[in-house]
């Protein structure tokens, strides 16, 4: 299977942009924690919609979510190891990898939905042409 990296990076960019907007608009509280899943779901959907089919959509949506989470985790680990030390960075790494696995599943599901919807919308090519 060929990976469309443009679709993966577009899904990542959408998820990152939504995460930034949500972090400024919504204060983090017990009720708003579920909103943190929305950027990954929407980014995975966008990546899946850019390709056609359920399986490619799931792969691309999962990749967009995982690559985005890895990028954010890497930045957090570097900043935390500089500010707080290696022990807290190791704890962040373990919890980050666990969260990464948990985020990949909804991202892949949203990507599969997006790929399925794109596949349904595409008109089927017919071999007939009409002339006047």
- What are 5-16's pLDDT values in tens digits? 898 889 888 888
Q: At 53, list the tokens.
A: 């089919």
3-state secondary structure labels for all residues of the chain: CCCCHHHHHHHHHHHHHHHHHHHHHCCCCCCCHHHHHHHHHHHHHHHHHHCCCHHHHHHHHHHHHHHHHHHHHHHHHHHHHHHCCHHHHHHHHHHHHHHHHHHHHHHHHHHHHHHHHHHHHCCCCCCCCCCC
- Check whether 129 has a pLDDT greater than 70: no
When the pLDDT of each residue in the chain is averaged and rounded to a whole number, the result is: 76
Say which residue the tokens 């990949």 belong to: 104
Indicate the pTM of the whole model. 0.70
- Check whether 132 has a pLDDT greater than 60: no
Proportion of the chain above pLDDT 90, given as a percent: 1
- Of 49-63, 98-112, 117-131, least confident by mean pLDDT is 117-131
* Rounded-to-integer distance, Cα 23 and Cα 36, Å: 9
């Amino acid at each position: 299977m060929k990976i469309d990296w443009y679709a993966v990076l577009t899904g990542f960019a959408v998820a990152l942009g939504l995460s930034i907007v949500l972090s400024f608009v919504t204060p983090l509280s017990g009720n708003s924690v579920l909103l943190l899943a929305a950027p990954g779901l929407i980014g995975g959907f966008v990546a899946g919609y850019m390709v056609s089919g359920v399986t490619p959509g799931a792969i691309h949506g999962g990749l967009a979510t995982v690559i985005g989470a890895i990028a954010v985790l890497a930045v957090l680990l570097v900043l935390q190891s500089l500010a707080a030390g290696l022990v807290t960075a190791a704890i962040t790494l373990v919890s980050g990898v666990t969260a990464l696995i948990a985020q990949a599943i909804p991202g892949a599901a949203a990507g599969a939905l997006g790929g399925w919807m794109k596949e349904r919308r595409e008109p089927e090519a017919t071999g007939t042409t009409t002339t006047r």
